[in-house]
Amino acid sequence: MIILIEKSDLRICRTGLEERIGRKIWLKSKGGRKRTIIHEGYLDTCSSNVFTVRCPVSPAYDEYVSFSYVDVLTKVVEIRFDRDTDCADSAAKAQTVS
The rounded distance, in Å, linking the Cα atoms of 4 and 1 is: 10
Dihedral sign (CA 11, 16, 22, 27): negative
Query: Which strand (E) or helix (H) includes residue 51?
Result: strand 50-58
The mean pLDDT value of the chain amounts to 82
Which pLDDT does position 42 carry in this prediction? Answer: 95
Residues of the chain whose pLDDT is less than 50? 86-98
Which pLDDT does position 24 carry in this prediction? Answer: 94
Beta carbons of 65 and 51 less than 8 angstroms apart: no
Residues 6+ apart with CB under 8 A from 3: 74
Residues 6+ apart with CB under 8 A from 73: 5, 9, 10, 13
Which pLDDT does position 6 carry in this prediction? Answer: 76
The DSSP secondary-structure symbol of 21 reads: T
Which pLDDT does position 96 carry in this prediction? Answer: 40
- The domain locations on the chain are 24-83
pLDDT digits (tens, 9 = 90+) for 48-63: 899 999 999 888 999 9
